[in-house]
Amino acid sequence: MLVTQQSVLRRFWYPVVPIADLSDGLKTFELLGEKILLWLDSDDRPIAAQDRCCHRSAQLSLGTVINGNISCPYHGWQFDGCGTCVHVPQLKPDQAIPASYQIQVYPCVERYGYVWVCLGEPLTDIPTIAEATDPAFRLIHEFYEPWRCAGLRVMENEFDLAHPTFVHTATFGSENHPIPDVLEVTETEWGLQVRGTLGVVNPELQQQNLGMNEQQTVRTLDMVWFMPFTVRLRINYPNGLAHVIVNTMTPINDSTSQMVQFCLRNDTETDTPSQDVIAFDRAVTLEDKRILESTDYDVPLSLNQEQHMFTDKPGIMMRKKIAALLKAQGEVEYTKEQNLGRVTEFSDQSNQNKSNQNTSNQDKPNQNHVSIKILHS
């Protein structure tokens, strides 16, 4: 699946930039191949817009923010947080600004310290993380960086309890526990809930972080996948400590995702300094990153393209759920093969992309679905 080609992925929320970064001025981000810019309006609310002026297509991000409005660098037109042009320097004060002078803005809100953006009509809410509003928990921002892999590979990895023995050899992987003791997968409307238990080793830094001297311990896992690219991984330890990882792989383009990760813990800074928590999770994530960046970003949704085993159940269900979502939206999976023109049949994606831009059409089946046959060259 090439994420930029699946219109329905534009209808989910993604964290794109830490809200604190906007206090330095406007920022840019590439989301699903679309260049956007972000700034704070006069009430300090985040605004997301297409990085393209409606006049002569100049990049608005080369401009400046004036009184909470974005001013285009080319002719100085100014646009407010609704995308409406509110100032045209070339017009006389008594001349009305045409209503068509409008830039594309997107739904945009702050949550968990990040600016979340949806490029279309949202299908679901931003994932609810109960611990984020629980006063017993503190939030620690961990990572914000691009990974050269598909978000779906990371989602599957988080729920893959057969990989720690081989990937997390310097952190928590245990040779004695190549498979989980428990793995229960429940389908929800917009994702999965997975419960599991896994024996792990408990190295020195982690012994301090967890306040546990044992060399081995057990993780009781309560994990939720929020379609398409967010996971909440709650790790409960025998001493009552909960370490909750929240990770979104925000899709930048087909081959790269922005890794956004924070964690929530029910201990204090005195118990465990944040920098020690981050240091251990850094080591863990770098072990994953090395392997995941070696995988193919074109993750096949159909199950006959790659081989599977029983511990892959969560990943298999993720692929099935995304495939079902595409089908419900009248889309077909778009792969590298389509890009190379080596397929016998595909749906006309350009029509689907056009229909997606008109949000009023988004809940209707794609009226422009066209099947095209292409001969092998």
Residue 47 vs 301, nearer CB to ligand FES: 47
CB contact at 8 A, 185 and 305: no
Asked if 281 is part of the footprint of Fe ion (rule: CB under 5 A), the reply reads no
Minimum separation from the CB atom of position 191 to Fe ion (A): 19
Asked if 290 is part of the footprint of ligand FES (rule: CB under 6 A), the reply reads no
C-alpha dihedral (39, 40, 45, 47), degrees to nearest 10? -20
Asked if 1 is part of the footprint of ligand FES (rule: CB under 6 A), the reply reads no
Which 57-76 positions form the footprint of ligand FES (CB under 6 A)? Answer: 58, 72, 74-75
Alpha-carbon span 321 to 220, nearest angstrom? 25
Minimum separation from the CB atom of position 370 to Fe ion (A): 41
Residue 120 vs 173, nearer CB to Fe ion: 173
In three-state secondary structure terms, 40 is strand
Q: Which partner, ligand FES, Fe ion, none, binds residue 144 by CB below 5 to 8 Å per kind?
A: none
Q: Which partner, ligand FES, Fe ion, none, binds residue 56 by CB below 5 to 8 Å per kind?
A: ligand FES
Q: 194 - beta bridge partners?
A: 185, 223
Residue 49 vs 231, nearer CB to Fe ion: 231
Asked if 246 is part of the footprint of ligand FES (rule: CB under 6 A), the reply reads no
In three-state secondary structure terms, 166 is helix
b/e map of 333-371 (b: 16 or more CB within 10 Å)?
A: bbbeebeeeebeebbebeebeebbeeeeebeeebeeeee
Q: Which partner, Fe ion, ligand FES, none, binds residue 45 by CB below 5 to 8 Å per kind?
A: none
Q: Read out DSSP for 311-358?
A: GGHHHHHHHHHHHHHHHHTT-----HHHHHT--SEEE-HHHHHHHHHS
* 49 token code pair: 């817009």
Asked if 55 is part of the footprint of ligand FES (rule: CB under 6 A), the reply reads yes
Asked if 98 is part of the footprint of ligand FES (rule: CB under 6 A), the reply reads no
Minimum separation from the CB atom of position 27 to ligand FES (A): 19
Residue 76 vs 113, nearer CB to ligand FES: 76
Q: Which partner, Fe ion, ligand FES, none, binds residue 290 by CB below 5 to 8 Å per kind?
A: none
Which 245-264 positions form the footprint of Fe ion (CB under 5 A)? Answer: none
Residue 34 vs 288, nearer CB to Fe ion: 288
Alpha-carbon span 95 to 76, nearest angstrom? 16
Q: Which partner, ligand FES, Fe ion, none, binds residue 53 by CB below 5 to 8 Å per kind?
A: ligand FES
In three-state secondary structure terms, 230 is strand
Alpha-carbon span 211 to 325, nearest angstrom? 43
Residue 288 vs 298, nearer CB to Fe ion: 288
Asked if 212 is part of the footprint of ligand FES (rule: CB under 6 A), the reply reads no
Residue 291 vs 343, nearer CB to Fe ion: 291
Q: Which residue of this chain has its Cβ atom nearest to Fe ion in the complex?
A: 288
Binding residue (CB under 6 A) for ligand FES from 25, 44, 56, 365: 56
Q: Residues for the chain: how many in total? A: 377
Helix (H) or strand (E) holding 250: strand 242-251
* 45 token code pair: 């609310």
Residue 52 vs 265, nearer CB to ligand FES: 52
Asked if 288 is part of the footprint of Fe ion (rule: CB under 5 A), the reply reads yes
Burial (CB count <10 Å: 0-12, 13-18, 19+), residue 60 = buried
Q: Which partner, Fe ion, ligand FES, none, binds residue 288 by CB below 5 to 8 Å per kind?
A: Fe ion
Residue 288 vs 333, nearer CB to Fe ion: 288
Phi and psi at residue 340, to the nearest 5°? -85, -5
Minimum separation from the CB atom of position 150 to Fe ion (A): 15
CB contact at 8 A, 292 and 266: no
Minimum separation from the CB atom of position 114 to ligand FES (A): 29
Q: Which residues bind ligand FES (CB under 6 A)?
A: 53, 55-56, 58, 72, 74-75, 77
